[in-house]
Structure 1
């Protein structure tokens, strides 16, 4: 009797571990959403890889501004290199403002990149209906990366990278090609 139960128990344990591994980004996103709703930027900071996120936002903004082509041209044209450096000088402070604990909270709350930080007090007026929560779809890109997109297809897509077996951190964004 015991020999027959051992494979069943082992299969159940393996299935539970596989389910927990698959569901881990969903759970992490739930924790991030709870931190945003509680307006707890410090708690949210635990789920963000700020250096990677800043670099991702800079690359996306430079690509959107068409500066990616200027990078190749800057090797042969000193004016193109000067223009790229000027663009970075303008973009860096904006990205640093957007990729702060408060800025990331605003991004996740709105499902889009916001430069200004959100107000500390809720903007909901007395008698006004509560703001609708955004729904997100989570899809695996690989074992170590998932893409989190707004269910309505708008805004930006957020990229979560695996940190350990069941832990994930926000490490990038992808701007839509609207």
Structure 2
């Protein structure tokens, strides 16, 4: 009887260790996919619909805070805000790709990486420009189903990558952008 109890405890500990290491394995898989620019591998690790929805909400809210709510008696302002929200949605759809995510994870501007220019000729400059997604990230569990990896952009602001648990698997489902609140 004691053998079965020890075996059950060992299986339970192994299952807990596998689940606890899930976010780290997901981060490594995303890092490898971003470095290889492998869209299929990236798609397995990212919940693109949830990520796009979250980013559209963040950017739309930021736009509304910056511009202010349009007056209902000014149809041109309402129309302009509608067009701006549509442009934000199109921009998010265009930028939330494996290449765009890889650039954000490196703390770089998306257009720097998407340009595809060859690296500089010197060996030192070449090694400094190679992609290193989520390098020096700060990791932490926010709950049993939410894990974050925080990197800093080229201006030192935090960009938080949020992974959520789906069963025993983890997927990137949100990116908290460093959008600053306007001063009162």
Normalised by the length of structure 2, the TM-score is 0.76
**Alignment partner for residue 48 of structure 2, among 50, 58, 64?**
50
Q: Secondary structure at the match of 1:161?
A: strand
**Alignment partner for residue 105 of structure 1, among 99, 102, 110?**
102
**Alignment partner for residue 166 of structure 2, among 153, 156, 163?**
163
Alignment of 1:96 with 2:93, yes or no, is yes
More deviation in 92-101 or 128-137?
128-137
Alignment of 1:172 with 2:159, yes or no, is no
What is the CA-CA distance between 1:113 and the residue it aligns to? 6.0
Q: Are residues 151 and 69 of structure 1, via their aligned partners in 2, closer, same or farther at CA, if it must alter by over 3 Å? A: closer
Alignment of 1:81 with 2:78, yes or no, is yes
Q: Secondary structure at the match of 2:164?
A: strand
C-alpha separation in 1, matches of 2:18 and 2:51: 26
2:18 maps to what in 1? Answer: 20
Alignment of 1:64 with 2:62, yes or no, is yes
Long gaps (5+) in structure 1: none
Q: Are residues 162 and 121 of structure 1, via their aligned partners in 2, closer, same or farther at CA, if it must alter by over 3 Å? A: farther
- Structure 1 vs Structure 2 CA RMSD: 2.9
Normalised by the length of structure 1, the TM-score is 0.78
1:150 maps to what in 2? Answer: 151
